[in-house]
Structure 1
Amino acid sequence: MVARRDPALGSTGRWPVAFGSLAECILARSATRRALATLRDCHSGSRQAGANYRPAAYAPRKRRRRRWWFIAMFALPLWSNVSVLAQNQVIDLALPTDNDALFRDGGPAFYQSIERDYEGVKSTPWEGGQYGFVRDPVETPEGIVYTRFHEGIDIRPLQRDARGEPLDQVRAIADGKVVHVNLVPGYSNYGKYIVIEHRWDRSRYYSLYGHLSAIAVRPGQTVRRGEGIAVMGYTGAGLNQARAHVHLELNFMLSHRFESWYNACHKNDPNHNGIYNGINLAGLDIARLYLALRKNPSLTIPDFIAEEETFYKVTLPKSRHFELPKLYRWMLTGAAGTELPSWEVSFARSGLPLKIEPSSQRVTQPELSYVKKSSIDYSYLTQDKIAGRGEKAHLTEGARQLMRLLIYPD
């Protein structure tokens, strides 16, 4: 098909429906201005529009409709595309509350402490509010190992009323869309919580704000960075007024088929939060990301994840239902188009997926293909995803079940 030349659209005369770069958007915006100027001249009956031009009042109705269709269908979406493209290129994160001590000492002034009773000794260490394996210490021959993983960060309040109730406003950490709101504290360990979807690097990420006392947004609502969305609280299991905080996560989504998988595997435990159940969200180290962005504002999430250490790898049977490489294409490495029989997925110790590679290994179910050497029982190091020691290390049945989520229903 030959493109019709139009001086208002430049040399190609084609509609710029999709743009591959910001430069193309800017050029197209310039073309839009020229096109609108041409229409304006035509509408006024100016000489620049041509001596044979008839004023709009006498123009055929179809012709007038085409002009307005041009403005509505071309000019307005163009501005929207420029805005979205600019948003997707930069990760500009704000802290969710006024507490910015993370950027000073990052210790007890920022993190909410936990209550610990270890071998009869009670304490309230602030370290338990950090991301990572920071809870439930166990004595081993190699020393104390913290066996419970905390997938986000707990930020303490700065303001309380006369009764001790937290007053801190909770804000969106970046531009995005509210995709889930849980208003019933008993429906989740997060208590009342919000999930917001963000789009960077052509992928979708999900910030989660937990233990809220009041929520000011609804699903489907667009929010801007720094916009108030809730009030800090202490809803959810195991909290009290003294330990009020906002629990913050930034997550990958594992599968959009989560609900079917969950209903098949957890028949006696209803899921009230759909695909935004915490099991289906894998959190990265958001505190470290904040600090890394302070040093390098142009840092991308793929670059940030590339710095994570691979602790274990799992080989999965090839499946058309495997969504992870579609949701996060940057995870794919190697010859993605080859017809190899399986995928090998690399994971951080936390269980966060890091990389996906085609594999020649033939498997009929998820199999452990690598684990970092350690003399400590792997169940302590991986939240019971891997059991055994040395060459006897293997996936637990619970881990196999979770890995099946990635390729469910195969």
Structure 2
Amino acid sequence: MNMIYRLILLCLWLGLVSSFAEDLIFHIPTPNRALFDGTEEGNKAFFAPTTSGIWQSGRYGCTRTAGWQFHEGIDILWTQRDRKGEPSDPVFATADGVICYINDKPGLSNYGRYLIIGHRIEGIELYSLYAHLSAIDSEVSLGRKVLAGAPIATMGRSSNAARIAPYRAHLHFELAMVINEHFDDWFQTRKPGQINDHGPWNGRNLMGLDPEALFKEQWRLGKAFSLLDHFKHQDIYFKLKVDSPSFPWLKRYAALIEPATSDDQSQSAEISSYELSFNAFGLPVAAKPLFGKDLEKSKLWEVSYVNEAIHKAFKCSKKIVPKGDGYQLSSAADEWMDLLTFDVSR
């Protein structure tokens, strides 16, 4: 087993940072604290807009292209500049963790120069991503433990896509789940001939939750904040019954599996499948074990519940589409579920 693969396993299973789990709190990863101002001016000072000039476009969610485009993170505006007018804000680790990935080649990603830190909090694996960096601190290296608030990089404007103007300089920040640690195997199988430069740290393999909502809930609750409760209180957009008693995601996110009741087990002693619950932006936030077969034989998964209000309200989050009297996954979401349930051992 080579060193890189060992490191991937360390980051994905996060055994080496478990001792921090009970004490972790989240920090905003730059000196910008305007998020907690509670005013329009505070929001304008915190969120970096797109070229539209609308500050809301720097938020997470259906915030771009009149609500049709999803932004999987937040863009935190600069507060400091150097003599050349470039952003010079330090970037900090949002929580205790371990450095999982460093991309120091901006031309390989629209994230530009970026790094990822892995965290284990209340049994939940979470990964923080810091993008568009101008520089990464020399002491930051793969596998290194970092503490919340530790300096890790400097804000910048790096990207392989459209140039980021100095007035829009920002840190693109995500808090995400890894969908499948075997992403590279899935990619080579499903996308033959295509190149994956980032292994399991490819953006396709990351699913983000809303950092703004998390920061504000923690600010409101203080020490009473719980990441597990934050997941449990997400509004559910839809549910899927998945015809498999085991796939990698269940092992990594066992903390999100609901306990079985005696009524659940009345049909069978063994789990036959799971019902996954997804929030408004398609993040799996809960799993319920099912006993006894009730999926159609030809289906690997099927939609079992839809929140109609969320489906109508969130234009960018169309994971499901109407079919007859019900719903099915969109083609893009079907591929995404194929990744989530992919098991290299089968």
1:181-239 Cα distance to aligned partner (Å, 9 max, x none): 01111222211111001121123211110111111222111112211111111112233
In the other structure, the counterpart of 1:313 is 239
In the other structure, the counterpart of 2:277 is 346
Aligned-pair CA distance for 1:242: 2.7
Q: Are the equivalent residues in 2 in contact too, given 1:171–1:228 (CA < 8 A)? A: yes
1:266-315 Cα distance to aligned partner (Å, 9 max, x none): 33431111111122122111111111112222322110112210001122
Larger radius of gyration: 1
In the other structure, the counterpart of 2:24 is 91
In the other structure, the counterpart of 2:129 is 208
Q: 2:145 aligns with which of 222, 228, 237?
A: 222
Aligned-pair CA distance for 1:341: 2.7
Gaps in structure 1 of 5+ consecutive residues: 1-80, 117-123, 138-145
Q: Are the equivalent residues in 1 in contact too, given 2:133–2:171 (CA < 8 A)? A: yes
Q: Runs of 4 or more off by more than 6 Å in structure 1?
A: 375-379
SS at match of 1:311: strand
Q: Are the equivalent residues in 2 in contact too, given 1:341–1:361 (CA < 8 A)? A: no
Instruction: Report the TM-score when normalising by structure 1.
Output: 0.71
Q: 1:370 aligns with which of 298, 302, 305?
A: 305
Q: Are the equivalent residues in 1 in contact too, given 2:295–2:301 (CA < 8 A)? A: no
Q: Are the equivalent residues in 2 in contact too, given 1:334–1:357 (CA < 8 A)? A: yes
Instruction: Report the TM-score when normalising by structure 2.
Output: 0.83
1:95-128 Cα distance to aligned partner (Å, 9 max, x none): 1111111111340010101123xxxxxxx10001
Q: Are the equivalent residues in 2 in contact too, given 1:91–1:299 (CA < 8 A)? A: no
SS at match of 2:43: coil
Structure 1 residues 362, 339: CA separation in 2 closer, same or farther (over 3 Å shift)? farther
Q: 1:152 aligns with which of 73, 93, 103?
A: 73
Q: Are the equivalent residues in 1 in contact too, given 2:35–2:43 (CA < 8 A)? A: yes
Structure 1 residues 170, 397: CA separation in 2 closer, same or farther (over 3 Å shift)? same
Question: In 2, distance between residues paired with 1:253 and 1:340?
Answer: 24
Aligned-pair CA distance for 1:393: 2.7
Q: Are the equivalent residues in 1 in contact too, given 2:26–2:215 (CA < 8 A)? A: yes
In the other structure, the counterpart of 2:9 is none
Gaps in structure 2 of 5+ consecutive residues: 1-14
Greater relative contact order (Cα 8 A, min sep 6): structure 1 or 2? 2
Q: Are the equivalent residues in 2 in contact too, given 1:342–1:361 (CA < 8 A)? A: no
Q: 1:244 aligns with which of 169, 194, 198?
A: 169
- Mapping of residues 3-402 of structure 1, within 5 Å: 85=19, 87-105=20-38, 106-116=42-52, 124-137=53-66, 146-216=67-137, 217-236=140-159, 237-238=161-162, 239-296=164-221, 297-320=223-246, 322-335=247-260, 338-359=269-290, 360-363=293-296, 364-374=299-309, 380-382=315-317, 384-388=318-322, 391-402=325-336
Question: In 1, distance between residues paired with 2:33 and 2:193?
Answer: 42
Letter in 2 for 1:260: D
Q: Report the aligned-residue RMSD.
A: 2.4
